[in-house]
Amino acid sequence: MEFLAPTTLADALAAKAELPDAMPITGGTDVMVELNFDRHRPPALLDLTRVPELAEWSMDDGRVRLGAGVTYTRVIEELGALLPGLAMASRTVGSPQIRNRGTVGGNLGAASPAGDAHPPLLAAETEVELASATGTRRVPIDEFYTGVKKHAGRPDELITAVVITPPSGPQQFSKIGTRNAMVISVAAVSVALHPGRQEVGTGIGSAAPTPRRAPAAEAFLAGALADAGLWESRRELPGALAAEFAALVRAAGAPIDDVRGTAAYRLHALAVMARRALTWAWSDYRRGTVAAQGG
């Protein structure tokens, strides 16, 4: 197997143009498992760990541009205040070793319905940056996932970054697995409040062929909060609102039975976690503990 190790993004993109079947490898925490179990035998590996452009994050017009090679550990240590939902999800990934190697870009590249980065990225306003030797484009996150472990990137493209608008209010993430650590989720939910534009964001994981939003739940809650003047008053969240939101998140799921859990359990878990995540986010909003609140 050929091993390509470019040291610039231009060289990496040229290599991908020349050998579209080359498999990118960043942290390798998914790729090495696939190779070890002989599930794939790509003609070449394209190692991206020496490409400095992928390993950085920056602010770009109020948005975070997170390089595809930034590890979970760095998201936790450096971006907890700006991207609380993604940082919470990152804390639940694997073990310290996996978080030190694994990246958000690799989670997107694998596009597993169970990937933990997806729900908070869906709940925020996110675009995935894809680059090839011929140019760069940005794909809205909810158009990125095209099927089970499939995404919108072309064979000649690399994921170079995700561009995320930090929510103007609190964001929460909830995941359930068969134990507390080193576990792939059985179901996951993220909820973001965007008081600046009076909108709500959601993302659900392990509950459909792809990670997805729950648009009916988002529209219901944003409208109900506005109708009741709750965005301004920050009064206690009526239980009926949380219950209806949870029911609509549940209705957005289309899970399967598998070794980790049944479809019925996943739907139940979605509703429980949606209610909890919303309740936590609303308490944060009421307490005004989020730095950017009201933005």
Element holding 235 (H helix, E strand)? none
Q: Which one of 73, 79, 88, 109 is in contact with ligand FAD (CB under 6 A)?
A: 109
Is 252 an interacting residue with respect to ligand FAD (CB under 6 A)?
A: no
Is 25 an interacting residue with respect to ligand FAD (CB under 6 A)?
A: yes
Is 98 an interacting residue with respect to ligand FAD (CB under 6 A)?
A: yes
Specify the amino acid at residue 284.
D
Please identify, among the stretches 18-26, 140-148, 165-173, 283-291, the one whose residues bind ligand FAD according to the rule CB under 6 A. 18-26
Q: Which one of 57, 73, 82, 94 is in contact with ligand FAD (CB under 6 A)?
A: 94
Q: Which one of 4, 13, 30, 141 is in contact with ligand FAD (CB under 6 A)?
A: 30
Specify the amino acid at residue 194.
H
Between residues 94 and 255, which has the closer beta carbon with respect to ligand FAD?
Answer: 94
Is 59 an interacting residue with respect to ligand FAD (CB under 6 A)?
A: no
What sign does the CA torsion over 142, 143, 144, 145 have?
positive
Q: Which one of 9, 35, 110, 152 is in contact with ligand FAD (CB under 6 A)?
A: 110
* Distance, CA of 120 to CA of 90 (rounded, Å): 10
Q: Name residue, tokens 């739940």.
A: 217
Closest distance between ligand FAD and the C-beta of residue 30, in Å? 3
Is 28 an interacting residue with respect to ligand FAD (CB under 6 A)?
A: yes
Is 216 an interacting residue with respect to ligand FAD (CB under 6 A)?
A: no
Tell me the two tokens of residue 102: 């694994």
What is the end-to-end Cα distance of the chain in Å, rounded? 51
CB 9 within 8 A of CB 131: yes
Between residues 98 and 228, which has the closer beta carbon with respect to ligand FAD?
Answer: 98
Q: Which one of 63, 101, 266, 275 is in contact with ligand FAD (CB under 6 A)?
A: 101
Q: Name residue, tokens 């009916």.
A: 216
Is 217 an interacting residue with respect to ligand FAD (CB under 6 A)?
A: no
In Å, how far from its chain's centre is CA 200? 16
* Distance, CA of 269 to CA of 265 (rounded, Å): 6
The answer for residues whose C-beta is within 8 angstroms of residue 280's C-beta and 6 or more apart is 170, 172
Between residues 56 and 232, which has the closer beta carbon with respect to ligand FAD?
Answer: 56
Tell which phi-psi region holds residue 294, choosing left (phi > 0), alpha (psi between -120 and 50) or beta: left
Closest distance between ligand FAD and the C-beta of residue 244, in Å? 29
* Distance, CA of 85 to CA of 171 (rounded, Å): 5
Closest distance between ligand FAD and the C-beta of residue 283, in Å? 26
Tell which phi-psi region holds residue 206, choosing left (phi > 0), alpha (psi between -120 and 50) or beta: left
The count of other CB atoms within 10 Å of the CB of residue 260 is 17
Closest distance between ligand FAD and the C-beta of residue 236, in Å? 34
Letters for 169-208 (x = contact with ligand FAD by CB under 6 A, - = none) are: -------------x-x------------------------
Q: Tell me which residues touch ligand FAD (CB under 6 A).
A: 23-31, 33, 48, 68, 92-94, 98, 101-103, 105-107, 109-110, 115-116, 153, 158-159, 182, 184
